[in-house]
C-alpha cells in the first residue's frame, strides 16, 4: 500500500524539510513585526496548525489562533497588516482553504505552507514555503503531516531565533526511525482491537493535537468511531462513555503535562478501559497502568513528541484498516483533494 510506504518515508521527508531551513530564514527576513499569528487549515493540516499554536506562543511569544478554514468566514478575529495568516495545506487546492486565503489576502499578510509545487495557494499567498515530502498518493495524509510539522517548527524556531531547538531538530528523524521499529508490536495491537466500536485518544498540551490526529486517521481509514480529547476534558462528560474494554489511546510523553495525563489514565483504567499508552521507556508507572505500551526514548520531551509519537498512531490505523479488510489507499467518502 502507498500509505505504508509513505509512513516509512517519514524520517526522510522530515530530514529533507530540515535541509531547506535557509528558505525559511529568507522568508522570515522579509517579515515585518507581527502582533498576531493565525493558522488556517482543514483535516490533518488543521492538527499540524494546532501544534503551531503551542510552538508560536511558546517559542516566538506571539498570540496565535487556529481556525478551521470552513469557519474562517464566520470567525477570523481582527485581521490587519500586523497579522500573519498561515495557511497549511498539503495540496494547496482545498476549496475552504483557498476561500479563506482570498479573504485574508485583502487585509493581512499571508503565508502558504504547501507540499504541491505550483498549486493555487502558492500562487496567491504573499509568501510561500514548501514541505519536502515528495508526492503523497495515500489519501489519508501521513508523511506530508510530519513535513508540515517540521516546517512549522522551523518557522517558529527561526522567528524566535532559538539556536538550541535548531540543533535539537536534527535528532528527530532518528527518533522517528526508531518509532517505525515498533511495527510488529502495533500489528498485534491492531489485531486485538480490530472489532472495537469506539476508540478514545487522549493527551494534553502538545499531545492533544496528536490525540486528535490519531482519532482522525482511525475514522478516515477504518470507519471506527474515534474521539480525540484533551485529557482534562474527560471529566466534563465523556467519562460516562468509558466502560469495560473501551480502548483508550493515551499519549503521555515526559514533560509538563505528564503527571496530569497519567492521572487521567488511572481514571479511565478504574472504569475498565483498555489502555494503549505511548510514553517513555523509563515510565514504570505508565507501564503498570497500561494494557499495552509503545515506548520511546526518555529524552523525547513533550515539545518534540508530536513528530515521533504520531508514527505508531498512523501505523495503528493502517493495520486496523487492513485487519478489517479495508483498502487504506481507497477510503470511502474521502478524496485526496477536497475541491468543493
Ligand atoms: C486537507 C484534507 C487532508 C485529508 C484528505 C482531505 O487537505 O482534509 O488532511 O487527509 O486528504 O483533505 P490539504 O488542504 O492539506 O491538502
HSE-up (13 A, CA, CB side) for residue 16: 16
10 Å CB burial of residue 276 (0-12, 13-18, 19+) is buried
- Block mean pLDDT (10 aa), the chain, length 340: 97 96 96 97 98 97 97 94 98 98 97 97 98 94 98 98 97 98 98 97 98 98 96 93 95 97 97 98 98 98 97 98 97 90
Question: Which residue among 39, 43, 120, 149 is best mutated to probe the pocket of ligand 1, counting the most ligand atoms within 8 A of its Cβ?
Answer: 43
Instruction: Return the closest-CA partner of residue 62 out of 158, 165, 160.
Output: 160
Q: Residue 97 CA: which ligand 1 atom is closest?
A: 14
Distance in angstroms (rounded) separating the CA atoms of residues 137 and 80 = 37
Residue 258, CA distances (Å) to 26, 165, 205, 239, 264 in order = 37, 21, 10, 19, 10
Name the pTM for this structure. Answer: 0.97
The SS3 call for residue 216 is helix
- pLDDT of 273 reads 97
Ligand 1: centre distance to CA 94 (Å): 7
Q: What is the ipTM of this complex?
A: 0.97
Ligand 1: centre distance to CA 140 (Å): 7
The SS3 call for residue 136 is coil
**Which domains does the chain possess?**
2-171 (3.40.50.10490), 181-323 (3.40.50.10490)
- pLDDT of 333 reads 84
Ligand 1: centre distance to CA 111 (Å): 18
Distance in angstroms (rounded) separating the CA atoms of residues 162 and 155 = 10
Instruction: Return the closest-CA partner of residue 111 out of 99, 96, 97, 101.
Output: 101
Distance in angstroms (rounded) separating the CA atoms of residues 154 and 168 = 11
Q: Which residue spans within 134-291 are E strands per DSSP? A: 198-203, 225-230, 247-252, 274-280
Ligand 1: centre distance to CA 141 (Å): 7
Q: Residue 43 CA: which ligand 1 atom is closest?
A: 8
Amino acid at each position: 500500500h502507498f500509505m505504508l510506504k509513505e509512513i516509512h518515508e517519514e524520517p526522510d521527508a522530515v530530514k529533507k524539510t530540515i535541509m531547506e531551513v535557509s528558505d525559511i530564514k529568507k522568508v522570515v527576513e522579509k517579515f515585518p513585526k507581527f502582533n498576531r499569528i493565525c493558522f488556517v487549515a482543514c483535516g490533518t493540516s488543521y492538527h499540524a496548525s494546532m501544534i503551531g499554536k503551542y510552538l508560536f506562543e511558546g517559542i516566538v511569544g506571539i498570540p496565535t489562533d487556529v481556525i478551521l478554514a470552513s469557519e474562517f468566514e464566520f470567525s477570523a478575529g481582527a485581521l490587519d497588516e500586523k497579522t500573519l495568516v498561515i495557511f497549511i495545506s498539503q495540496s494547496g487546492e482545498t476549496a475552504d482553504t483557498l476561500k479563506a486565503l482570498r479573504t485574508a489576502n485583502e487585509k493581512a499578510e499571508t503565508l502558504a505552507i504547501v507540499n504541491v509545487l505550483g498549486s493555487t495557494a502558492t500562487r496567491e499567498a504573499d509568501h510561500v514555503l514548501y514541505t519536502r515530502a515528495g508526492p503523497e498518493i495515500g489519501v489519508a495524509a501521513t508523511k506530508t503531516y510530519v513535513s508540515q510539522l517540521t516546517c512549522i517548527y522551523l518557522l517558529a524556531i527561526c522567528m524566535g531565533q532559538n539556536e538550541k531547538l535548531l540543533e535539537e531538530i536534527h535528532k528527530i528523524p532518528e527518533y522517528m526511525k526508531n518509532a517505525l521499529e515498533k511495527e510488529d508490536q502495533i500489528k498485534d495491537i491492531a489485531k486485538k482491537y480490530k472489532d472495537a466500536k469506539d476508540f478514545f485518544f487522549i493527551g494534553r498540551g502538545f499531545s492533544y493535537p496528536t490525540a486528535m490526529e490519531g482519532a482522525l486517521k482511525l475514522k478516515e481509514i477504518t470507519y471506527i468511531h474515534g474521539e480525540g480529547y484533551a485529557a482534562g476534558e474527560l471529566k466534563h462528560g465523556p467519562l460516562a462513555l468509558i466502560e469495560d474494554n473501551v480502548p483508550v489511546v493515551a499519549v503521555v510523553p515526559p514533560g509538563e503535562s505528564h503527571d496530569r495525563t497519567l492521572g487521567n489514565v488511572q481514571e479511565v483504567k478504574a472504569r475498565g478501559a483498555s489502555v494503549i499508552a505511548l510514553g517513555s521507556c523509563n515510565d514504570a508507572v505508565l507501564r503498570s497502568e497500561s494494557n499495552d505500551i509503545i515506548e520511546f526514548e526518555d529524552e523525547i520531551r513533550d515539545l518534540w513528541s508530536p513528530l515521533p509519537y504520531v508514527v505508531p498512531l498512523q501505523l495503528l490505523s493502517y493495520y486496523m484498516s487492513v485487519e478489517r479488510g479495508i483498502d487504506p489507499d481507497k477510503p470511502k467518502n474521502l478524496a485526496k483533494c477536497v475541491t468543493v
